Structure 1
Amino acid sequence: MKTSLLTNFSVDKENKKISVEREFAASVAKVWDAWTKSDILDQWWAPKPWKARTKSMDFREGGSWLYAMVGPEGEEHWAKFEYESIKPQKSFSGQDAFCDPEGNINTEFPRSKWGNEFKESGNSTIVSILITYDKLADLEAIIEMGFKEGFLSAMENLDAIFEE
């Protein structure tokens, strides 16, 4: 793994947000595809030994990505990302939520509002991610679930794809 790649992860409890800045050794086009095409997302989105498995993806404003995080024992945790705005190879935003296999949102868990920006930086791409929450308790619950460790681990899976 290349340790020279930029990785910043910060939690701002006062404003109920998580900021992640991550550099990838690939072009904006390749990084964009890795974040927006289900066949590539399934290869990296879940931290090992978990796997991501897409049930459906409609990458357009108003569309959604319905997927499961599948554990080593076959257990499934479903989530749905609803796309709100898309500027090709520049940014996309939307809401992520836990759900059932049919995509019905589980309101007992916090929803996350994501904004992802993609910027070329020499021979690499920097993805800036801002995740916001309605309540501080929601942010804290996500962190307690191991979001930081899991998300940073998943991004290392993406590094491995770009190294191939």
Structure 2
Amino acid sequence: MPVISSTKDVDTLTMTFVAEFEATVEKVWEVWADPRKLERWWGPPTWPATFERYEFEPGGQARYYMTGPDGTKARGWWTITAIEAPHRLEFDDGFADENSEPVDPKDATHGTVTIEAAGGRTRMTTVSTFTSAEQLERMAEMGMEEGMREAQSQIDKLLTA
């Protein structure tokens, strides 16, 4: 499994995932930059994602939904806040309504993805920063840690394709 660690830290209001892959930095970057690749792993295997909008640039908007086993759609949004290709991506991430618009932008988390060479492999560190301990605990109770581990475990298949 590519995820080598996941850490929930209430003191820093973060959840951090570290994964390593047998691929170049550029190839790992593509799983974020290409929405068709992104939707093949963003979300656990039983909740695949579909990106309806994906503007991969600072200030760009993304709108997506994940479809559950019973057909339920959980919608989300991103606002991309920074891109330093192929090493860093930052975005705000939140829940969306049935029209794919943000439910409460103040309840968003902030994601920071760092991709770097690591001894012949590539290390991807994903940090979600929360606005409060309550928000962190709510997301943890919703299964975010397990879901992200399962989601990132799907990336290996994309890198060998």
**TM-score normalized by structure 2?**
0.93
Moved more, 69-78 or 52-61: 69-78
Q: Deviations over 1:100-145 (max 9, x none)?
A: 2433211299311111111012332101122111110000001000
Q: What are structure 1's unaligned runs of at least 5 residues?
A: none
CA-CA distance at 1:20 after TM superposition: 1.5
Structure 2 residue 103 is the aligned partner of structure 1 residue 106: yes
Secondary structure at the counterpart of residue 43 of structure 1 = coil
| Pick aligned residue for 1:22 from 7, 15, 19 | 19
Secondary structure at the counterpart of residue 17 of structure 2 = strand
Secondary structure at the counterpart of residue 107 of structure 2 = coil
The answer to whether the 8 Å contact 1:98/1:109 transfers is no
Alpha-carbon distance in 2 for matches of 1:89, 1:56: 21
CA-CA distance at 1:93 after TM superposition: 0.6
Other-structure match for 2:159: 162
- Aligned in 2, Cα 1:16/1:50: closer, same or farther, shift over 3 Å? same
Other-structure match for 2:137: 140
| Pick aligned residue for 2:149 from 130, 149, 152 | 152
**TM-score normalized by structure 1?**
0.91
Matched positions, count: 161
* Identity, % of aligned positions: 24
| Pick aligned residue for 1:82 from 59, 79, 104 | 79
Q: What are structure 2's unaligned runs of at least 5 residues?
A: none
Secondary structure at the counterpart of residue 122 of structure 2 = strand
Structure 2 residue 61 is the aligned partner of structure 1 residue 71: no
Alpha-carbon distance in 2 for matches of 1:109, 1:149: 24
